[in-house]
Amino acid sequence: MAVVEKVIDAPPQQVFDVLADGWTYSDWVVGTVHVRDVDAQWPRVGTRLHHRAGPWPFSLEDASTVLVCEPPHRLVLRAGLWPAGEAVVVFTLTPEGDGATRVRIGEDFAAGPLRWVRNKLNDLVLHQRNKETLRRLSDIATRQKADERAER
């Protein structure tokens, strides 16, 4: 499983609020280029986020399904990218210091052809992708924190 961590200067609930807004996924999940629809009860267990991933004209349409939702500490998704396969993505949020959050993202291929091509190159690509994903998530969560301070 490819695992990446980052401390984000925002409390866990604020970071989780970004995870809970399915319409923002294409803003911070590297590879997701368009969110087509989000189930009304997202991120309740069993709900789906319908997305398009990859560059046009090769982009694939699929959906991600919530497997576990424990606000504001844990979200587990089954991310579809068929015919390439599926991945299980685990977000863990832990309070860190004064108003910060340690975010851990773990991702592993769970089904399909990508599951069988595990190698160091794939692990490196996933690691770099998830590192950038957490950087983008941090930008959105900390921007919201700055906006809240400006409103005071």
The sign of the dihedral angle between the CA atoms of 20, 29, 126, 111 is positive
Q: What is the pTM of this model?
A: 0.85
The answer to whether 52 and 34 are in contact (CB under 8 A) is yes
- Is the pLDDT at 53 greater than 90, yes or no? no
Supply the pLDDT for residue 108. 81
Closest by alpha carbon to 114, among 105, 103, 102, 125? 125
Give the mean pLDDT of 50-63.
82
Confidence of residue 22 (pLDDT cuts 50, 70, 90): very high
